[in-house]
Chain A
Amino acid sequence: EAGVTQSPTHLIKTRGQQATLRCSPISGHTSVYWYQQALGLGLQFLLWYDEGEERNRGNFPPRFSGRQFPNYSSELNVNALELEDSALYLCASKSLAKNIQYFGAGTRLSVL
């Protein structure tokens, strides 16, 4: 069974640009979570999507947004990039039956 896959592995952008990160959940999982792991800030919850809807949001500005597609894959968009957005972005998926989040390997976003 394939795990959670994220693309790209690395992304380099300049300040003010937009970044798009992608996540494919484990087959059968309907929920997708996004977390930010920034140096010195630890792992912070960003967004939760379930059945195509945004269900919960962490303490991040509106320029962090995303969506979930009918096949349950998800995109995270970060607009007007700032230097402090540089971080590892982790995606996790969860099935309806089990309260366990399984993580992908992450996308490392570097903002120059």
Chain B
Amino acid sequence: AQSVTQPDIHITVSEGASLELRCNYSYGATPYLFWYVQSPGQGLQLLLKYFSGDTLVQGIKGFEAEFKRSQSSFNLRKPSVHWSDAAEYFCAVGVGGATNKLIFGTGTLLAVQP
């Protein structure tokens, strides 16, 4: 069955420090992978996506993610975190061919210390 695992429920980093959020997926075919961010009381904003090609993808707000097929991972990184990055981050895999639905991880809540 398809699934997405985000092993870290809650992460706290200092402002200016680097960040890595982990994501592992289980899917038989070539995955469509996404990272979304959700601020309190808001919907989901797309940070970046991977469909094919270069395994290091760049997104908005200075985020990047690397697809590693051998590890079934799609970890999100940012070299220097800003206080405005505090939010909940969701990794998702698109399944069913033309991405007819998204399977989400349970999310990682990021807190940023001044």
- Could you tell me which A residues sit within 8 Å of B by CB distance? 4, 6, 33, 35, 42-45, 48, 55-56, 58, 90, 92, 94, 99-106
Contacts and interface: CB of A to CB of B under 8 A. Distances in A.
Contacts of B103: 45
A101 B104 CA distance: 13
Binding site secondary structure of chain A: strand
Interface in B47-75: 49, 51
Contacts of A4: 43
Interface string B101-114: 11111110000000
Nearest to B99: A99
Contacts, number: 53
Contacts of A6: 43
Contact of A99 (B32, B42, B44, B104): B32
Interface stretch (B17-25, B79-87, B90-98): B90-98
B43 A104 contact: yes
Nearest to B36: A103
Chain B interface size, as a band, is 20 to 34
Contacts of A94: 99
A94 B107 CA distance: 22
16 contacts: A6-B43, A33-B102, A43-B90, A43-B92, A45-B102, A48-B101, A55-B100, A56-B96, A90-B43, A99-B32, A99-B51, A99-B99, A101-B102, A104-B43, A105-B43, A106-B42
Nearest to A6: B43
Contact of B104 (A42, A102, A106): A42
B45 interface: yes
A55 B100 CA distance: 8
B43 A101 contact: no
A103 B44 contact: yes
A99 B101 contact: no
Nearest to A42: B106
Contacts of A105: 41-43
